[in-house]
Structure 1
């Protein structure tokens, strides 16, 4: 984004705005980064840009708590997954188990719907 350093936010794409927001948060040198649905308002073509930034942060060792509906991304990047239902943790564990052998009926129901919708 170096070529955009003098641009105002309204001149940036949604993906660029999200990446700038992440960089601003990282400038504080946090021990933990909280990300809440960072792709929800983005054009589908811009989602990959933001997810790539998060992948890079994870590879660099940044600790993150991410709320997302990007299930494939969560499965691939997470060390632990928590499935929330009505604001309550219904199930938590390693992604391999949660996504392939969920123990809770509500988690199974959610994943079945996501799979049927082609989102996983």
Structure 2
């Protein structure tokens, strides 16, 4: 169980931690990861569970839950934060990208 393990890290260290998780996954380790790093979750997860107001709202393959959710909450939560996260490449820190206003045709997660 890994709960927001990158939240208190300097941006330089985030990429290193995410690379380590990629390595552990490739070795077959099962992990339960709680994260706001949506791009990383999409990349590494076999299954995604979206929690909302303390309950399980939706679960399934990452593409279904994050790209095509049955509920509007996964979309609205990323839009409300105004920040999308780019998945870092090896030795590249995670950097926030400001999303355009929702009425400007911003892509939805």
TM-score using structure 2 length: 0.72
Residues 2, 34 of structure 2: 8 Å contact kept: yes
Q: Offset of 1:42 from its aligned partner?
A: 0.2
Which residue does 1:77 correspond to in 2?
A: 44
| Structure 1 unmatched ranges of 5 or more | 1-33
Which residue does 1:118 correspond to in 2?
A: 84
What is the root-mean-square deviation in Å for CA atoms of aligned residues? Answer: 1.4
Q: Offset of 1:117 from its aligned partner?
A: 2.0
Q: Which structure: larger Rg?
A: 1
The match for 2:66 among 90, 99, 106 is 99
With CA pairs under 8 Å and 6+ residues apart, which has the higher RCO, 1 or 2?
2
Which residue does 1:37 correspond to in 2?
A: 4
TM-score using structure 1 length: 0.66
Residues 78, 84 of structure 2: 8 Å contact kept: no
Q: How many residues align?
A: 86
